[in-house]
Amino acid sequence: MSQQLSVIGTGVIGNGWIARALAQGWDVVAFDPAPEAEARTRAFVDNAWSSLEKLGLADGASPERLRFVASLEEAVEGADLIQENVPERLELKREILAALDAAAATETIIGSSTSGFKPSDLQQDCAKAPGRVIVAHPFNPVYLLPLVELVGGEATETAQIDAAQALYRDLAMRPLVVRREIEGHIADRLMEALWREALHLVNDGVATTEEIDAAVVYGCGLRWSLMGTFLTFHLAGGEQGMRHMLEQFGPALKLPWTKLEAPELTDELIDKVVEGCEHQAAGRPVAELDRRRDDFLVELLDLVQKYWPEAEGLEGRI
């Protein structure tokens, strides 16, 4: 029996969820009140489908298993999982999540794609089963990148997080359960720190946007795609690992190398960043850059999966 994902809100992230679920052989029911929503979503799925075919489709996968409906209540009928993707405004999210909670079966998990809000804040107006309303934060493009951060709120029980993990694994995702509620969760806080430092480097005239991106693409980014920050530094300590690395380089953490506060977004800084990105794009439209990124990610995923923990026999690792 096929599973059903109900998607509320079909912007870039919502459409990414739709494409991923369709590629995994799920039925998808979507609701978005925007007049052109269905046409935009079907065009999005068509554009993403060739990448998904290269990555490998599940049995029964088809764009034809997408259906748009006229109301939120109709969308959640029969759902195995509900994904909310409305704009990042807390009042709006609470309103929509309360309506979803009232309309959906009590046991159905409702994941919010929020990149910053805490689940306890999202649950506030949910009266029926608030604990099943959780953060399920993905990364763009959702149809290719496997990480989803799962965060439970004050009303959430362990069994609800366990159920969510199983559902997202069925969507071929790698759920990361965040141990404690915090704004921005884990990954966005890390990316935000790098983003702020990058803005300072542009603002201070140290580097262009292209030079900063090159520093990541040809250096640390290659290592991060396999090992992340901590294991990379563990290797930097030589045979003694992290302990030696901290003894040797730990004192440098006291040096004023970084600026954690973001610089003021002056018109001058905005112009530098925009002009730098347009130079990097070299006249190519975003859709073309999307396809180039997707082609790269498909090949990269094919490679890195051979080195992920389970390929080494390390089951139970993230």
The tens digit of pLDDT for each residue in 34-84 reads 999 999 999 999 999 999 999 999 999 999 999 999 999 999 999 999 999
Q: What pLDDT score was predicted for residue 250?
A: 87
Residue 214 CA to residue 191 CA, distance in Å, equals 16
Question: Which residues of the chain are modeled with pLDDT < 70?
Answer: none
In the prediction, which pLDDT does 260 show? 82
Task: Return the pLDDT at 114.
Answer: 97
Q: Are 41 and 12 in contact (CB under 8 A)?
A: no
Q: Given this model, what pLDDT does residue 220 score?
A: 94
Read off the tokens for 14.
């919502």
Q: State the pLDDT at residue 117.
A: 97
Residues 273-308 as b or e (16 or more Cβ within 10 Å = b): beebeeeeeeeeeeeeebbeebeebbeebeeeeeee
pLDDT score for 39:
98
Q: What is the pLDDT of residue 57?
A: 98
SS3 state of residue 48 = helix
Q: 133-137 and 147-151: which strand pairing? A: antiparallel
- With left for phi above 0 and alpha for psi between -120 and 50, is residue 136 left, alpha or beta? beta
Residue 251: per-residue pLDDT: 87
User: Which pLDDT score is estimated for 96?
Assistant: 98
On the 0-12 / 13-18 / 19+ scale of CB atoms within 10 A, 218 is exposed
Amino acid occupying residue 274: V
